[in-house]
Amino acid sequence: MTELAAAKAALKTQAVETPSWAYANSGTRFKVFAQQGVPRTPQEKLDDAAKVHEFTGVAPSVALHIPWDKVDDYTALAEHAEDRGVRLGTINSNTFQDDAYRLGSVCHPDAAVRRKAVDHLLECVDIMDATGSADLKLWFADGTNYPGQDDIRARQDRLAEALAEVYERLGEGQRMLLEYKLFEPAFYTTDVPDWGTAYAHCLKLGPRARVVVDTGHHAPGTNIEFIVATLLREERLGGFDFNSRFYADDDLMVGSADPFQLFRIMHEVVRGGGFTSGAAFMLDQCHNIEAKIPAIIRSVMNVQEATAKALLVDAEALAAAQRDGDVLGANAVLMDAYNTDVRLLLREVREEMGLDPDPIEAYRRSGWAERIVAERVGGEQAGWGA
């Protein structure tokens, strides 16, 4: 197989998971600009996600957030997804929107609050059993605002205890993905602030505990691809929450602010085993001012473009230049791949998959946007958090 054919074959097997909450209304703490036609139910979020998959061919699963996507019958919800050609993916827990969690959830000083939080996480595993989801994604808003507010070490002990109980409950083939975030909503300490803390907990828990890299959760200037390379080497990269940032946890469209960073990350993914490394490719985004479905289609395409470029890196030439200490030559090999226009290649890939080569235009022509505006009247439109 030629290198181009191999790249095409790999691109056809890529899977990018989209988040249910990205289809809902969202905003900043200043204003939520409600959009017409936004889903009113988890089922309607799945209907929209199915459109993203229909036109891109590489977004076959949808992440749920509990309780935002709470339903009485998860088996029926999984069937609804299947009927539309997608499936339910990662289950995201929520231990940050209840009054009880003012001082944290699994790290809270009060054992009763910790119990409530752990019970929610266990409920999420029950839901995974019903939906057939393989991954439980945990992000904790836990932390402190003031020095001395709570004991840093005791909070780590409480976290370890909670994680261990949930890890024990996992069924065969299920994994725990632990997400870190530098700061916010707590500003002095965050209980899982970085990959090192997440990794240390995962190591103690066992091989099915892995770290999630949310690209928006780092200090400016952090070399995220180094973290990716390290976690892949240690076989502890659970996956990505892709999004893009200018300042902090902006949750903008992946690849929009810094496509070169996304390429460098995907280069390390390819280098570290690619799509067979066990890393899940998920989006964690919100679309506050732009139309949501086309923004998600665009995001999936951005991931594809970065992946295509990473797959085109001439690995042999790069290794040779590195061996020879050819600094400029090695850099040039990488930049050659990055500077390749892969849009034609991706059009061909889509045509070979029986898709329209231009997913955004195909979506526009489909009339789905007009249809949901006309049909989704009445009821409460879902929002980030509902």
Query: What residues make contact with Mn ion under the rule CB under 5 A?
Result: 214, 241, 249, 284
92 binds, among ligand PSV, Mn ion, none (CB under 5 to 8 A by kind): ligand PSV
Contact yes or no for 280/177 (Cβ under 8 A) = yes
Q: Binders of ligand PSV among 85-124, rule CB under 6 A?
A: 92
Q: Is 194 in the site for ligand PSV (CB under 6 A)?
A: no
Looking at residue 210, what DSSP letter applies? E
Give the contact letters, 129-158, x = binds to ligand PSV (CB under 6 A), - = no.
----------x-------------------
Q: Strand, helix or coil at 344?
A: helix
CB 350 to ligand PSV: min, Å: 29
Rg of the Cα trace of the chain?
21
Asked whether position 47 contacts ligand PSV by CB under 6 A, the answer is no
Distance CA 71, CA 317 (A): 53
In the complex, least distance from residue 283 CB atom to ligand PSV, rounded to whole angstroms: 10
Between 247 and 354, CB nearer to ligand PSV: 247
- Among 17, 150, 179, 225, contact with ligand PSV (rule: CB under 6 A): 179
Q: Where are the alpha helices (DSSP H) in the chain?
A: 3-13, 42-56, 74-83, 111-131, 152-169, 195-205, 224-233, 259-271, 292-311, 315-323, 327-338, 343-352, 359-366, 368-375
Q: Does 277 bind ligand PSV (CB under 6 A)?
A: no
321 touches 333 (CB < 8 A): yes
CA 214 – CA 223 distance, rounded (Å) = 13
Residue closer to ligand PSV by CB (options 92, 189) is 92
By CB under 6 A, is residue 214 in contact with ligand PSV?
yes
Partner whose binding site includes residue 54, from ligand PSV, Mn ion, none (CB under 5 to 8 Å by kind):
none
The vertex-237 CA angle with 185 and 331, nearest 5°, equals: 100
Please tell me whether residue 241 binds ligand PSV under the rule CB under 6 A: yes
Does the protein bind ligand PSV through residue 181 (CB under 6 A)? yes
The minimum distance between CB 356 and ligand PSV, in angstroms, equals 31
Measure the N-to-C terminal CA separation of the chain; round to a whole number of Å: 48
Residue 194's binding partner, choosing from ligand PSV, Mn ion, none, with beta-carbon cut-off 5 to 8 A by kind? none
d(CA 113, CA 100): 7
| Chain residues in the site for ligand PSV (CB under 6 A) | 92, 139, 179, 181, 214, 241, 249, 284
